[in-house]
A and B are shown apart, each in its own frame.
Chain A
Amino acid sequence: MRIVNRVVRGVLTAVAVVGAVLTLQACGGTDGPTGLKGFVPESANDVGGISLPDIGPVGKGSERPLTAAPGDLLLVYFGYTSCPDVCPTTLGDIRSAIRRLPAKDRQRVEVAMATVDPTRDTAAVLRGYVGHFFSLWRAYRTTDPAALMAAEDAFGASSSVTRAKGGGQEVMHSAFTYVVDDQGHQLVSWPFGMRSKDMAADLRTLLSSNQGAQQ
């Protein structure tokens, strides 16, 4: 019995080690020096030069950079509203993450959704969709495919919309959420399926390290 236990324990340890290594590789240093749960870009990824029309309550259609307000964080997601599975799951998780923060920190996190499907995502539809999830939000919508692609490239995102056989649209999109500071630095990105408590942990870490900038 003891031998069996030892064998079982050995196997479990091996599984745990393999799991830990995979996790470390996957997340580019989970709990590493930065303590962040998501991916930290290997080199500084600057998106400060990118701007798109923001049709949200603040932008009202004007071109705005995809950077956070001073001392705050902006979460950027490239998605589309006809997405019944991945997008609402991610946006719901982001909402849960923000709700986990203390009230004063919640005011420092804004969420921006940039539509990859501007044909179906009319301004009214997109505004209703993003506004459903968040109180502080932006909705970026451009009908210029080159401008959208330039923005996606800067973030390391991608998307494609093709006409499906049945007449509908088939949309493929990278489903990451990017956390950007007021300088346009992409600080961390979260893959689809990231737990809201891990997102919240990253937000707390980043907001506390950005405290100085706020004051």
Chain B
Amino acid sequence: MAAPFPVSCARRIQKELTALHAEPVPGVTLKSGPDTLADKSTDINMIIKGAEGTIYNGEEFNLRFRMNERYPFESPEVVFQPPNIPLHPHIYSNGHICLSILGNDWSPALTISAVCLSIVSMLSSCKEKKRPPDDQFYIRTASMNPKATRWMYHDDNV
């Protein structure tokens, strides 16, 4: 269907997945990776478990990574998948996440596991389950791809 990934990009994703198997991020399991890296965009699905002692204890969330052929120079598209989308002040009900490293602060030296780690810590440090204040408006107007949104990061507490 589409042009295959450039070799360097495929190799990098492959290595990252191997590293994820070898050193998994606590609370994160790899559900399904790409069978081949032949397609232009590749989905990697993760399961994130709410850590003990946090308000998400016992909950399970599906997280989808989608890379394009410019990865790692362009950030991956990372969204939570329905049905269970965490109630969090930085996560919109369509699964989009407001996280600086997925946008402006992305660096090619970041990895899937670094992103997972950030998301887990973002969930763990949350004290109150609630949606972002502009959730209703956002989900009506947002594109499917969170990267089409220009994010403003203003809250470093949660």
- A, B assembled together: no
Chain A: residues with CB nearer than 8 A to chain B? none
Chain B: residues with CB nearer than 8 A to chain A? none
